[in-house]
Amino acid sequence: MGESRQMRCSFAFLGLLVSSLAVAQPNWRLKWSDEFSGATGSAPDSTKWVYDLGAGGWGNRELQTYTNATDNAYLDGRGNLVIRVLRSSAGAHTSARIKSLGKFDFQYGKVEARIKIPFGQGIWPAFWAMGTDIRTVGWPRCGEIDILENIGKEPSIVHSTIHGPGYSGGDGITSAYSLPGGQRFADEFHTFSAVWTPTSIEFAVDGVPFQKVTPSSLAAGKAWVFTKPFFLLLNVAVGGNWPGPPDATTVFPQLMVVDYVRVFQELADDVGR
């Protein structure tokens, strides 16, 4: 059956639209990843991660002590990293905070992780990045990109934030993403990502962008410090100024289960790196 001119024009338009969308998509190349394959109960890959250790509140009046014990960070033998928060009979909390500092950093591209977060009052999971120059310039001048944060009393909400000089702590540039219908992020895995360019950082949940920050998002005179290498962090904190302490409703242990962490860069960004 012959096509009408209108139909041919419609198909031609659709073809051009699909072609233009394909051109607009970044040509991502996997730069680095951890798929967390390994024996059940083994520690995270020491060629990719190191630990932050100790207590002291971590600048937020947090309650946990971070350890390097496989009680708190281990592979489950099914391709996942587990960060486990424990509470002792005396009420002390232990957890883990791992980072790629000194092992891997990156500048621009797409970073994502597939995570099933924990839940409960006072539980504070995070997937984030900080400037590798933190040891020389300190925080917040090093910059911080919070790809995922959740406070357990908000089971349907996650937050993404940037921090830098003059816009840190409670003054960070932030936005929230909510699941519909009262669904909980703790009930299944979700993918959390950020696409980072020299002039923007765009956050997404399950592939849906919900916040894009640029230098124009900052107050006048504030510096955009996201033009240098950053390293990655994964942790679960307990208590602190933002989430508040656990209460009688909080169940332990709590688990953050990470399927993978992947960093992609556009082919053009790889030139000379």
So which residues are the catalytic ones? 144, 149
User: How far apart are alpha carbons 114 and 263 in whole angstroms?
Assistant: 12
Strands 65-66 and 93-95: parallel
Contacts of 187 (CB under 8 A, 6+ apart): none
In angstroms, rounded to a whole number, what is the distance separating the alpha carbons of residues 95 and 83?
7
- How deeply is 271 buried, as exposed, middle or buried, from its count of CB atoms within 10 A (0-12, 13-18, 19+)? exposed
Whole-angstrom Cα distance, residue 23 to residue 184?
36
Strands 123-131 and 230-238: antiparallel
* Beta-bridge partner residues of 202: 195, 212
**Strands, E, within the chain: which ranges?**
28-34, 50-52, 65-66, 73-75, 81-87, 93-95, 97-99, 109-116, 123-131, 144-149, 157-163, 173-178, 190-197, 200-205, 208-213, 230-238, 254-266
CA distance 103 to 48: 5
Mark out the alpha helices in the chain (DSSP H runs). Answer: 5-24, 134-137, 267-270
